[in-house]
Structure 1
């Protein structure tokens, strides 16, 4: 939501995330399908609002910067329209949860491909804008029994006991 137009480099399939959490900045590479979708959005945005008052990449219907409240309400409306409901006793998905799902799916894919996960955890943590290892963020809210100090081997054993795989299949 905080991206300005100068932070989006679609020709290079790259975003620059500036001054995010802990005042950190980072470069985020984009998959070509994401770049294509952002290019389509930018064309439509420019057709609908050719002279915005703000330099942001994502605009509200009023031509202003998006805010968390409106994004969350729109996301909830899209979930309802798509028929996505939270299981009994669980909260509905939130936009922030997409980061969590991405991290979990990435780890599961790495383990399935027999990648040296401990060597890649720092890159995934940086990509997500984290200072601590990404494992610490994956296991919040009592969703699993691991902690920030869990070794990669313990996390891998936990994944293959089926807890994460069955949870990601229902997500």
Structure 2
């Protein structure tokens, strides 16, 4: 929950909608921030009844001059859902249609194995200039290794609690996911050693309840959850430290690109071991928490583009499906 008290005519309905979403297993932080923006806007309208009209929606849209298309699309989605919810509550509200999304051509920045080694070396060499209780440097190296070794989303990683990480069984349970699908991720031997080393240092912090089951796993010296914003800032610092240029403008490298890098490197390893890449897709899709194979399939193209030598391996696995034209001509002539 964000630190904000709704004060407009819609306040009780904002709160009940958020509660409904939370009960359904959705993460509500983004919804709450959108409602905060709407709440502040509606406070100045002088409404006497909680009815959302077309004119009000247009006035709000005209005030959002600096929002990107993607940001506006997310806000339209929440407003549309909320309007339908209000209609079910007995208030005839205008339900705005969803704008058509443009086809987004985005190519993630896949880091090479050498770049990942440089990245981790730079992360391990980070130092604090002075003690700050809210400084999360104690968790940053292990956070980056966890993202790369498991393909987690950053939101999933910072939401982990102690009970979610079972090093005795070698698994991590991800509860708060993007698609509301809990999943179990196995922990490699290398990552297990890193996590155990982190815990040996973390548990020496003079913080009460640090080892409780419901306490956050990745914390700052105060024992509180590290934020996604702090992780992004440290990611940029590590990139600069190891000489990997940050382009910006949504062209990366982004923190989320560690997840993409994990997927491509996983496929690359399996193909080199002679596995059929298309048989691996359903496994990788479940591992990464994708709803469909469509999102996972793009990693095959990225793997082929980054490692063209693997095209021969991929083709060799499925060569029996399509016989060569030369062989077909010879058999026809006979």
TM-score (norm 1): 0.75
Q: Which residue matches 1:135?
A: 297
Distance 1:80 1:62, change over 3 A: farther
| Structure whose CA Rg is larger | 2
- Is 1:121 the counterpart of 2:278? The answer is no
Question: Which SS does the other structure have where 2:251 is aligned?
Answer: coil
How far apart, CA to CA, are the structure 2 residues paired with 1:49 and 1:16?
27
For residue 254 of structure 2, the aligned residue among 80, 85, 94 is 94
Distance 1:119 1:92, change over 3 A: closer
How far apart, CA to CA, are the structure 1 residues paired with 2:269 and 2:199?
31
Once structures 1 and 2 are overlaid, which stretch shifts more, 20-29 or 118-127? 118-127
Say whether the 8 Å CA contact 2:285–2:292 is kept in structure 1: yes
After TM superposition, give the deviation of residue 72 of structure 1 in Å. Answer: 0.5
- The runs of 5 or more residues in structure 1 that have no matched partner are 139-151, 167-171
After TM superposition, give the deviation of residue 83 of structure 1 in Å. Answer: 2.2
Task: Map 1:11-160 to 2 at 5 A.
Answer: 11-52=168-209, 55-86=215-246, 91-133=251-293, 134-136=296-298, 138=299, 155=301, 159=304
How far apart, CA to CA, are the structure 1 residues paired with 2:239 and 2:251?
12
Q: Which residue matches 1:169?
A: none
TM-score (norm 2): 0.40
How far apart, CA to CA, are the structure 2 residues paired with 1:66 and 1:77?
16
After TM superposition, give the deviation of residue 42 of structure 1 in Å. Answer: 1.0
What CA deviation, in whole Å up to 9, does each residue of 1:52-74 have, x standing for no partner? Answer: 57700000243211111111001
Question: Which SS does the other structure have where 2:173 is aligned?
Answer: strand
Q: State the number of aligned residues.
A: 146
After TM superposition, give the deviation of residue 82 of structure 1 in Å. Answer: 2.0
- Is 1:5 the counterpart of 2:162? The answer is yes
How far apart, CA to CA, are the structure 2 residues paired with 1:83 and 1:3?
30
Distance 1:91 1:61, change over 3 A: farther
